[in-house]
Amino acid sequence: MPGERSPAAELAALGPDAILRLPAPDGGAPAGPTAVAAPAAIDLPAPPTDSPDEWPGRRHVLDLDDFSAGEIGRVLRTADAMKEILGRPIKQVPALRGLTVVTLFYEASTRTRVSFELAAKRLGADVVNVAASSSSVTKGESLLDTAHTLRALGADVLVMRHSEAGAPYVVAEHVDCMVLNAGDGWHAHPTQALLDLYTLRERLGTIAGRRVVIVGDILHSRVARSAIWGFTKLGAAVTLCGPPTLLPAGELPWPVQVDHDLDRALEGADVVMALRLQRERQQAGLLPSLREYVRLYGLTRERLARARPDAVVMHPGPMNEGVEIMPEVAYGAQSAIADQVTNGVAIRMALLYLLGGGSV
Amino acid sequence: MTPPLVSTLGAWADTPTARRPAPAHLLIVGGRVLDPASGLDRFADVRVRDGRIAAIEPGLAAADGEAVLDARGCVVAPGFVDLHCHLGEPGYEDRETLATGTRAAAAGGFTTVCCMGDTQPRLDCGAEIAALRERAAATGIVRVLPIGCVTRGREGGELAELGELAAAGAVAFSDDARPVRSSRLLRHALAYSAMLGRPVVEHAVDPELAEGGLVHEGPVATWLGLPGVPAAAEEIAVGRAIALARLTGGRLHLAHLSTAGAVAQVRAAQAEGLAVTAEVTPHHLLLTADVVRDGPAGRPYDTSTRLDPPLRSAADAAALLAAVADGTIAAVATDHRPQRQVDKDCEYAYAAPGATALETALGALMELVATNRLSLPVVIRALTSGPAALFGLDAGRLAVGGPADLVVFDPDAVWTVEPARFHSRGKSTPLAGRTLRGRVRATLVGGAIVFSDE
Amino acid sequence: MTEAPPERLVLTADDVRRAVARLAQEIRERDDGRGALLLVGLRTRGIPLAARLRRHLEEFSGGSVALGRLDPTLYRDDLRLGRPRLEPTDVPVDVSGRRVVLVDDVLFTGRTARAALNAIMDLGRPALVQLAVLVDRGHRELPIQADFVGQTLTTTREQRVAVRFRESDGRDEVVLVDHAARTPTR
């Protein structure tokens, strides 16, 4: 309470923000003028500090190679809002009501397909799933025939997974719908890379300057290619590690290091991403044996200890436990693998929301 | 006062299978006459009479009844000779026919084309060779010379009867677009080639190394996640073929070279005195693997870039250009390989390789002239006297008294490649939408105007 | 270089602060006990306004007042035209059984309020939902009204009303901007 002064002087001393306290409803005496200071700065939505943020608008998401750091930032920021919806009792908003999303998967994948389906439904869109093995595709209908038919049936967005690189580009070129690439051959898996970035940002705060090691069959990995784009665009230092037969030959189109020695590559790493080793690679003569691969490139607890103590372990799934990653690492405290799956829905919601619209 | 140009295309232009029109009496005035075979390079007029070249002199005056073609600002050269094209007929008429393919050739300035035997049925026996020649004479508007298969059915199992093929009119032997897998068979074919005086044209690639490969193995393949064909796949096959040429003394001609390594081997073989020659396509001189990623239209995975052999690195293109300039590669051959659009509008891995090339060859090469990567005389030599010499053809030169097979083209005309307007049935080209320089104004075969751009 | 369109000051800093104080008072007075109060600020400037109202109300009552923030973008009716950047939504208490007062700086067409209402209803079952705005500028396109209004302004549809707070813009004021061809969004 202010000191003893005349009421007028007290009022004057309080300044223009003063309000008069009215008598309480029970008739008690007014307590005298009280200063209400001008409000201090409150927590407005903070402007993004770690990455720029822009969305000039795009019709398709085919690969991360043409995303700017700002566009990646916008996707991650949008995923924050989507994650909040996933925390509600009613996990749905009507934003994409009236939009028809068709998943067209030429390669089976329960996890990714369900992730996209849930993402679309959470935003109120209608979803149809086309599994290429159970439809007229097996009768020899070409990719474009199928895509045109789905468009004619009302598909606004085609979420495509295909065994051949470039397939979504063919559809995007010839069919009048939005295309979201859910994986094309060895080439790209942009939504996986984005959810990996999102998960890491949750765990580490920033991506720039982080040391990332990607280990495994990078030659045949669309996850690796998209991750390399994403990490390098956000300023991480990436090292690729694996046997020479499983790394792309010759000059690489990315600013990355290559090291065939996993123990050395892991020194001081912030992030380790292990890739699935497909058994067919051994049959194709690319590895002498699985046992040798595990010995040289398996991510064990001992190996992981060479990285930073708070290093994050990632894997796009599904895992070959005991081959590229040991169970105690996969389910250990440093593993973000479960978060990757959860965040996948939020990231896919973010992309579905952002597709087809420009920045307002 | 020059009378207006008389076009003889007239009535038969709408009936593509009609015979060539009767030869015109024609005076071509004011052009730069360029004939690498004789070394001629001067401004002169050319008189054509009764299907032959009657005179090449400056200052000729038009006679009565003689039509005049104003070639001022144009080059008058021997009609181009293509050592390597795929004309679809018999068996693949939805890709191309002799009629449509030769119209494309004429529009591109070619008066003689050598067509590969990968037809259905194959050109692997005398009867098929003779049938093709007959059909080409009836429906084609330029000279078509068949290349017979090396092996029966093109299967790579047994040699075809090469002597019979040669007697029936085959000018060379090839299993393109496949290599002859068996070194033993290739050796025998090369031995015959010397005796028959006709080269074996080998599509040089190691099949196992190249298996599944879609683009040049390198940064673009890595970026796009596509399996690559290493340069070594061609280098190994070229090395093998050269060794067999050395062993047999045979005549080896290497189709569509694409690597610097192969060029080096060919140069060394020629220095050694072996009868080893080579050709290159205009695409491999002008384009690199970057176009697979950046696209003719700015999009990756454009199947018009799917070629066999694939487009390679800038270093490879530079070596190929140098080889054309110094004569190591004496011929530019189009490898015109039209495909149906349905075989191109699909995933890159499933797309049929090949591009329609006859109508863009000159423009692509003149683009290299305009950017000082090749000279005009070298380009014309690689399209005329060079290829003619490689196959021993009586073509590719302008001689008074010789047949009036010639092309009049404007070296500075700028035009945009519009596949929809091609005479060829094939519409897929990695040069689609591109601005090229150099356009054919008229093409004559035996004195008859088989193409005119009016 | 385009000039900034001319602005006319219609509420001074003092006017703004008095209006805010008055709003807080009315909110407090019309509490009929139908549920504990939850203030929800709507992006963007509804948020600092809601924070100020909370401060006033906490002064009155001596207790704490629940505060949340809401971005109703995902419930808008015009998403086909574009994809606005999403701001965080954070409502830290259950809305069921509560008296929710949505807080925004300007009420115009009513579309933002409609979207916010739908968003709140998806979060639970409030006992009562009311709307408090600093400025009501008319031109409603939906049957929406504010329960608490700091100031009513007469405007044309083409004009723009800009509310500025010290926390977000450096000063407290409300200005009227003559702005041709502006699509109303509220």
pLDDT digits (tens, 9 = 90+) for B90-112: 999 999 999 999 999 999 999 99
Chain C residues whose CB is inside 8 A of the A42 CB are 47-48, 51, 167
Q: Which CATH number fits domain B10-76+402-452: 1.10.760.10, 3.30.70.1730, 3.40.366.10, 2.30.40.10?
A: 2.30.40.10
Rounded distance between C-alpha atoms, residue B333 and residue B320, angstroms: 13
3-state secondary structure of C53: helix
Annotation says B335 is catalytic: yes
C31, C67 contact by CB (below 8 A)? no
State the DSSP string of A32-92: --B--PPPPP--PPPPPSSS-------S-B--GGG--HHHHHHHHHHHHHHHHHHTSSS--
Chain A residues whose CB is inside 8 A of the C76 CB are 95
Taking only the tens place, the pLDDT of each residue in A234-272 is 999 999 999 999 999 889 999 999 999 999 999 999 999
Residue C23 lies in a domain: yes
Count how many pairs of residues, chain A against chain C, have C-beta atoms within 8 Å. 97
Q: Give me Rg for the CA atoms of chain B.
A: 21
Q: How far is B263 from chain A (nearest CA, A)?
A: 21
Number of structural domains (chain C) is 1
Q: Considering only residues 180 to 219 of chain A, which have any Cβ-Cβ distance to chain B shorter than 8 Å?
A: 184-188
- Taking residues C49-71, report their average pLDDT: 95
Q: How far is A96 from chain B (nearest CA, A)?
A: 29
Q: Is A321 exposed, middle or buried (0-12, 13-18, 19+ CB in 10 A)?
A: middle
CATH of the domain at C83: 3.40.50.2020
Residue B220: closest C-alpha in chain A: A253
Q: Find where tokens 């054919």 sit.
A: B440
Closest-CA residue to B95 (of B361, B355, B297): B355
Tokens of A215: 């280990």
- Helix locations, C65-147, DSSP H: 111-123
Residue C99 lies in a domain: yes
State the DSSP string of B394-452: S-S---TTSB--EEEEEEEEEEE--GGG-SSS----TTTT-EEEEEEEEEEETTEEEEE
User: Domain range for residue C53?
Assistant: 12-154
Q: Report the DSSP pairing between strands C99-107 and C37-42.
A: parallel
- In percent, the amount of chain B with pLDDT more than 70 equals 95
pLDDT above 60 for A291: yes
Taking only the tens place, the pLDDT of each residue in B323-335 is 999 999 999 999 9
Q: Do chains B and A touch (3 or more CB pairs under 8 A)?
A: yes
- Contact criterion met (CB < 8 Å) for B342 and A253: no
Q: What is the residue-averaged pLDDT of chain A? A: 86
pLDDT above 50 for A2: no
B99, B105 contact by CB (below 8 A)? no
Taking only the tens place, the pLDDT of each residue in A95-136 is 999 999 999 999 988 899 999 999 999 999 999 999 886 555
**Selected residue of A66, A174, A186 to mutate for chain B interface (largest B Cβ count, 10 A):** A186
Q: How far is C98 from chain A (nearest CA, A)?
A: 17
Q: Is A252 on the interface with B (CB under 8 A)?
A: yes
- Contact criterion met (CB < 8 Å) for A42 and C59: no
Rounded distance between C-alpha atoms, residue A195 and residue A316, angstroms: 10
Q: Do chains C and A touch (3 or more CB pairs under 8 A)?
A: yes
- Taking residues B353-369, report their average pLDDT: 98
Residue A143: closest C-alpha in chain B: B346
Q: Is A78 exposed, middle or buried (0-12, 13-18, 19+ CB in 10 A)?
A: buried
Domain A192-337 has CATH 3.40.50.1370: yes
Closest-CA residue to C8 (of C185, C181, C186, C177): C177
**Selected residue of A162, A173, A175, A181 to mutate for chain B interface (largest B Cβ count, 10 A):** A173
Chain C residues whose CB is inside 8 A of the A25 CB are none
Chain A residues whose CB is inside 8 A of the C52 CB are 39
**Selected residue of C30, C76, C85, C172 to mutate for chain A interface (largest A Cβ count, 10 A):** C85
Q: Give me Rg for the CA atoms of chain C.
A: 16
Backbone angles phi, psi at A12, to 5 degrees: -60, -35
Rounded distance between C-alpha atoms, residue A193 and residue B14, angstroms: 57
State the DSSP string of A89-158: SS----TTTT-EEEEEESS--HHHHHHHHHHHHHTT-EEEEEEGGGSGGGGT--HHHHHHHHHHTT-SEE
Q: Which chains touch B (3 or more CB pairs under 8 A)?
A: A
Q: Where in chain A is the domain with CATH 3.40.50.1370?
A: 64-190+342-352, 192-337
Q: Is A111 on the interface with B (CB under 8 A)?
A: no
B14 pLDDT band (50/70/90 cuts)? very low
Closest-CA residue to A35 (of A84, A2, A9): A2
Q: Is A253 on the interface with B (CB under 8 A)?
A: yes
Nearest to C85 among A92, A356, A359 (CB): A359
**pLDDT at res. B22:** 67
A187, A215 contact by CB (below 8 A)? no
**pLDDT at res. A24:** 38
Residue C24 lies in a domain: yes
Query: What is chain C's length?
Result: 186
Q: What is the residue-averaged pLDDT of chain C? A: 92
Rounded distance between C-alpha atoms, residue B128 and residue B126, angstroms: 6
Rounded distance between C-alpha atoms, residue A201 and residue A311, angstroms: 13
A231, A207 contact by CB (below 8 A)? yes
A101, A159 contact by CB (below 8 A)? yes
**pLDDT at res. A7:** 54
Count how many pairs of residues, chain A against chain B, have C-beta atoms within 8 Å. 67
Task: Between A109 and B8, name the one with better pLDDT.
Answer: A109
For the ranges A99-108, B24-33, B236-245, the maximum mean pLDDT occurs at B236-245
Strands (E), C1-159: 7-11, 37-42, 66-70, 99-107, 128-136, 148-152
Handedness of CA B307, B311, B316, B317 (dihedral sign): positive
pLDDT above 80 for C14: yes
Longest dimension (CA), chain B: 67
B270, B329 contact by CB (below 8 A)? no
**pLDDT at res. A278:** 86
Query: How many Å from the N-terminal Cα to the C-terminal Cα in chain B?
Result: 20
**pLDDT at res. A92:** 94
Residue C177 lies in a domain: no
Q: How far is A65 from chain B (nearest CA, A)?
A: 9
- Contact criterion met (CB < 8 Å) for B225 and A250: no
Range name among A98-107, A325-334, B17-26 with the lowest pLDDT average: B17-26
Q: Is C43 on the interface with A (CB under 8 A)?
A: yes
Q: Verify cis geometry, omega within 30 degrees of 0, for the bond prior to A8.
A: no
A282 pLDDT band (50/70/90 cuts)? confident
**pLDDT at res. A10:** 53
Residue C70 lies in a domain: yes
Closest-CA residue to B269 (of B213, B309, B328): B328
Please give the DSSP secondary-structure letter assigned to residue B330: -
Chain C residues whose CB is inside 8 A of the A78 CB are 85-86
Handedness of CA C181, C182, C185, C186 (dihedral sign): negative
Q: What is the amino acid identity at position C27?
A: I
Closest-CA residue to A174 (of B309, B345, C120, B267): B345
Residue B218: closest C-alpha in chain A: A250
Q: Which CATH architecture fits B78-391? A: Alpha-Beta Barrel (3.20)
Rounded distance between C-alpha atoms, residue B113 and residue B278, angstroms: 17
C184, C157 contact by CB (below 8 A)? yes
Tokens of A293: 């691969």
Q: Find where tokens 């320089």 sit.
A: B437
Chain A residues whose CB is inside 8 A of the B345 CB are 142, 144, 170, 174
Q: Which chains touch A (3 or more CB pairs under 8 A)?
A: B, C
pLDDT above 80 for B181: yes
pLDDT above 60 for B2: no
Chain A residues whose CB is inside 8 A of the B316 CB are none
Angle at C173 between CA C168 and CA C175, to 5 degrees: 110
Rounded distance between C-alpha atoms, residue B42 and residue B38, angstroms: 12
Which uninterrupted H or E stretch holds B145? strand B143-146
- Contact criterion met (CB < 8 Å) for A249 and B220: no
ipTM of this complex prediction, to 2 decimal places = 0.87
Q: What is the residue-averaged pLDDT of chain B? A: 94
Q: How far is C154 from chain A (nearest CA, A)?
A: 27
What does each C-alpha distance from C39 to B247, C54, C169 come to in angstroms? 94, 7, 22
CATH superfamily of A64-190+342-352: Aspartate/ornithine carbamoyltransferase (3.40.50.1370)
What does each C-alpha distance from B235 to B181, B241, B254, B305 come to in angstroms? 15, 10, 11, 22
Active-site annotation holder among B335, B394, B410, B453 = B335
Q: Report the DSSP pairing between strands B406-416 and B435-445.
A: antiparallel
What does each C-alpha distance from A175 to A98, A130, A151, A354, B342 come to in angstroms? 20, 17, 7, 20, 15
A137 pLDDT band (50/70/90 cuts)? low
Q: Find where tokens 């369900």 sit.
A: A114
CB-based contacts of B295: which residues, under 8 Å, 6+ apart? B301, B302, B305
- Contact criterion met (CB < 8 Å) for A359 and C43: no
3-state secondary structure of B235: helix
Domain boundaries, chain B: 10-76+402-452, 78-391
Tokens of B256: 């569509």
Nearest to C83 among A22, A42, A354 (CB): A354
**Selected residue of B347, B348, B428 to mutate for chain A interface (largest A Cβ count, 10 A):** B347
**pLDDT at res. C184:** 55
3-state secondary structure of C83: coil
pLDDT above 80 for B116: yes
Rounded distance between C-alpha atoms, residue B13 and residue B18, angstroms: 8
The pTM assigned to this predicted structure is 0.86
- Contact criterion met (CB < 8 Å) for C83 and A34: no
A33, A11 contact by CB (below 8 A)? yes
- Taking residues B290-318, report their average pLDDT: 97
Q: What is the amino acid identity at position A312?
A: V
- Contact criterion met (CB < 8 Å) for A166 and B219: no
Tokens of A145: 């025939």
